Amino acid sequence: IDDALFEGSENIAITLFNPVGLTLSTPSTHTVSVTDTDIAPTISFHTTASTTLESSGFTPVKVILSDFTVSDIDVDYQFLNGTVTHPSDPAEDHSGASGTLTIPAGATFADILVPIVNDSTDEENENFEIMLTNPVGAILGVQTVHLVEITDDDVAPTIEFSQVVSSVVEGTPQLSVFL
């Protein structure tokens, strides 16, 4: 039956047995190979970028299939440091590790869950990228890189004078500033 569902090539074994009034001869098994002519689904990120708070704990990054399948789909992913302007440091900002994501048969998406490290350092927002590679049972779609921006939510340090007014002796100026 020709359908529009990608299922890969299949084999059907037909075996003759228990004939009545006949003698069973060999070969008694015949194998038919059915080549699937349907196109494999594409796999890609749902969006090009996302933003998460540094204190979020983790951030989900959605990976989607263009169509469901009858078997699990695997795709490898790896973390990249991000853009040149504010790249994240994996040891300090997230603890995501490269791996393999499985989208179960019948499903059309799954999430890569990335642990986000919460620190107390006031800093610029930072980012990193995740890249999809080596799909099994699907082909790479257009959006294979996803940018995650980590929004810093730490309080900026303050600076102030310890006294509003002070006096010094001429010739020995000294003024201290404490952070």
* Residue 40 pLDDT level (bands cut at 50, 70, 90): confident
Say whether pLDDT at 76 is over 60: yes
Burial label, 123 (beta-carbon count in 10 A; 0-12, 13-18, 19+):
middle
* Residue 64 pLDDT level (bands cut at 50, 70, 90): very high
* Residue 87 pLDDT level (bands cut at 50, 70, 90): low
State pLDDT tens for residues 92-129.
777 778 899 999 999 999 999 998 888 777 777 888 89
Closest CA to 108 of 59, 44, 58: 44
Please tell me the distance from the alpha carbon of residue 151 to that of residue 127, in angstroms, as a whole number.
9
Say whether pLDDT at 16 is over 80: yes
Average pLDDT value for residue range 47-62: 91
Say whether pLDDT at 145 is over 90: yes
Please tell me the distance from the alpha carbon of residue 76 to that of residue 58, in angstroms, as a whole number.
20
How high does pLDDT run on average in the chain? 83
Average pLDDT value for residue range 20-26: 85
Query: Could you tell me how many residues make up the chain?
Result: 179
Global pTM reads 0.70
